[in-house]
Amino acid sequence: MTNILHFPLSAVVGADSLKLALCLTAIDPKIGGVLIEGPRGMAKSTLARGLADVLADGPFITLPLGATEERLVGTLDLDAALGEAKAQFSPGVLAKADGGVLYVDEVNLLADHLVDVLLDAAASGINRVERDGISHRHSARFVLIGTMNPEEGELRPQLLDRFGLNVAMDDQPQPVERGEIIRRRLAFDNDPEGFCALWEQAQEKLRQRCQLARDRLQHIVLDDDSLAVITERCFAAGVDGLRADLVWLRAARAHAAWRAADAISTEDINAVAEFALRHRRREQPPQRPSADQPQPQSEAAGSSLSTGQGQWGELPAQPQAMGHRREVPSWPKKP
């Protein structure tokens, strides 16, 4: 079977906030996945596929828009169950995605009951199939990534809230950045293996960083001081329910693990604030906070995730041709 090569996440130009959100939910899948909003042509699927490589052996599974519930959750053979006194289970998409990435393009066009099933499995890490009193359950630990174009319809607020993090890709890249994006895309299309080899060192650093963060995560306490700050800010933002508080706290801890810290700090809380609040707040915060107020996520994350010497590590120079050119332990490997 031919190994499918994905465009390396470390080679993506810009999109630092989204790259950070994807890595955080890979560090702690209990965050509940990432919903990416933006118009067509913003490389949403490229970034989602790039995460699968960061997870090393994890599969990348796409849920087709026309999928049925049986295809999603799997099926039970009742005749076999009656004859052999045990359920014969045919795995669905959720089973195939275990330990990897489950990608749902245009999730806002998916039937609501299927979105419910997806989000339940993403939150619990378990898929349970039951029919006529016979049941089967299996592990379904995956990073859920959904994309949507708001111009084509919205998700119901109840479903929107259940996505852990939300990132909007609505900024048009500048001309120089656009040119570099096209050059890298053409280089990858022309020679996927060579392009991936060029970026392998940067990819390996990213894999190691995510793995070390997953190992560190369980040793970082979800402390009362951080929770108090978060609950106050959730209250000020007028969010409905309590999911924002929990997701924000988990994401802040994942961010602390990402930067190899031993405890959650104000830096971590600020860095993930917009991810947790964007799709939940009822009142927009001030556009320009005073100097003694926390900085917006876009500034905090952007300054720490550069494409050069920053947290993504030393990236390779472009070749001449391109000039023209549980908490949550690491997932067990499958046998």
Closest CA to 316 of 5, 9, 11: 11
Residue at 318: amino acid letter: Q
Per the residue annotation, which of 141, 243, 250, 253 is the catalytic one? 243
Asked if 270 and 44 touch (Cβ cutoff 8 Å), the reply is no
Closest CA to 296 of 283, 305, 309, 287: 287
66 CB-contact burial (10 Å; exposed 0-12 / middle 13-18 / buried 19+): exposed
What is the SS3 assignment for 251-277? Answer: HHHHHHHHCCCCCCCHHHHHHCHHHHH
Phi, psi for residue 171 in degrees, rounded to 5: -95, 125
Residue bearing tokens 């500048």: 174
3-state secondary structure (DSSP) of residue 306: coil
What's the full length of the chain, in residues?
A: 335
Residue 70 tokens, joined:
């049986």
d(CA 83, CA 23): 46
Torsion sign (Cα): 259, 181, 58, 134: positive
Residue 209 among the catalytic residues: no
CA distances from 97 to 58, 88, 141, 157, 279 (A): 8, 19, 8, 26, 26
Residue 175 tokens, joined:
């001309």
Phi, psi for residue 34 in degrees, rounded to 5: -130, 130
Active site residues: 243
